[in-house]
Amino acid sequence: MSTIKEIAKKANVSIGTVDRVLHGRGRVAPETAEKIQKIIREMGYKPNLFARNLKLSRLFHFGILMPQEKQDGGYWAQSADGMRKALDELKSNQVRGHFYYYDKYSHNSFDHMIRAITNARLDGLIIAPILANPINELLQNLSNECPYLFFDSDLPETSPLSVINQDAHQSGRLAAELMIKLVPSSGSFLVIKVIPDDYHINARVKGFVDFLTQIDCHNVHVLDANIGDDPHCILPMVDQFMNHYPGLHGIFMTNALTYQVAEVIHQLSIHPKPSLIGYDLIDANAYWLERGIIDFIISQRPEMQGYQGIYTLFRHLVTKEPVEKRIVLPLDIITRENMLYHRQYVKIKINQ
């Protein structure tokens, strides 16, 4: 039997758009609605009676455990925006979301969240598993009747309902391949690994190093940046590194704080400018990408991760549909030339 997800994929629209057409609510462009209706007829879709009668059933409470939205230059706000969009679309289906924020640079901030979540009556939980030990403690105290899924990263030896993220190791390899296209001759590269180093940060570093170690003429240096202890540690770190290795050709920043490295390059007037590759099209990164200090940004599509997370839990708990064990988002390469298109594209896809 066909599902809403299959209809959305064939129509190249969001699940929320199909839902609005099926239930006759919200605004959908007439040509889009007609296209969806045609696909529904062709696929012989039959609405789930349980989902049709949700107005008569209880509320479903989804918990969302994630870093504070302002952290990492506002990266997490983009994930939250995608979730809020999905929650708004599902409001009439008796779905409610509850955000539980923690400081990703402080294990102590997690204790309160563990107590709040274990005492709450949640039907399901969406987790960004950045802090491994506290997350494992939470999962041990979580009711077996509360399914959970991960977004942004993964956590080994756990059993989430689904994981929604990128292939972190492959994204590190992609960054290395882009780097050697910028620096084709022999060179020295710096990898800045942000602490705390969660599972996907380590995988990115390994992917980058693995790729470049296959090329003997490139030297790779990995340095830890303990942002939690010192939010301004990147400037002295790069400055000191440059004093020891003046021939630095490229820097790989392993998370959304790429703009901090760009600011250092600008402030120190490093010449020739080392190539700079990092992650996520937050406002600060867009600023330095536009000015040519950042060369490439690899996007994780945080809005789509959040949006997919809510709908995945909805399908599992409410409409009782099977869900994918792993949803892998593509590795988008963003440059100064396609930056505006990418921002517009993401906005359109979320709001379709």
- The predicted structure's pLDDT at residue 41: 80
* Domains 4-47 and 58-166+302-330+340-351 equal at CATH topology level: no
pLDDT digits (tens, 9 = 90+) for 70-83: 999 999 999 999 99
R_g of the chain computed on alpha carbons? 22
pLDDT of 38 over the 70 cut: yes
**Six-digit token pair at 348?**
């359109």
Question: Is the dihedral angle over the CA atoms 240, 242, 246, 250 positive or is it negative?
Answer: positive
Beta-strand ranges (E) seen in the chain are 60-67, 95-102, 124-127, 148-151, 163-165, 187-195, 218-226, 248-253, 275-279, 296-299, 326-328, 332-334
Helix axes 283-290, 339-351, angle to 10 degrees: 150
The dotted CATH code for 168-299 is 3.40.50.2300
pLDDT of 272 over the 60 cut: yes
User: With contact defined as beta carbons under 8 Å apart, do 109 and 71 qualify?
Assistant: no
Q: Where are the chain's structural domains?
A: 4-47, 58-166+302-330+340-351, 168-299
Q: Which is more confidently placed, 84 or 105?
A: 84
The dotted CATH code for 58-166+302-330+340-351 is 3.40.50.2300
- The predicted structure's pLDDT at residue 337: 92
- The predicted structure's pLDDT at residue 219: 86
- The predicted structure's pLDDT at residue 128: 96
The dotted CATH code for 4-47 is 1.10.260.40
Span 232-250, average pLDDT: 88
pLDDT digits (tens, 9 = 90+) for 5-17: 888 888 898 888 8
Min mean pLDDT across 62-76, 107-121, 259-273 is at 107-121
Q: How high does pLDDT run on average in the chain?
A: 87
Separation of alpha carbons 3 and 60, rounded Å: 21
Confidence of residue 111 (pLDDT cuts 50, 70, 90): confident
pLDDT digits (tens, 9 = 90+) for 118-135: 889 899 999 999 988 889
DSSP 3-state of 291 = coil
Q: Cβ of 270: how many Cβ atoms within 10 Å?
A: 17
Q: State CA 33 to chain mean position distance.
A: 29
Nearest to residue 178, comparing CAs of 107, 275, 81, 105?
Answer: 275
Question: How would you label 88-111 residue by residue, b for 16+ Cβ within 10 Å and e otherwise?
Answer: ebbeebebebebbbbebbeeebbe
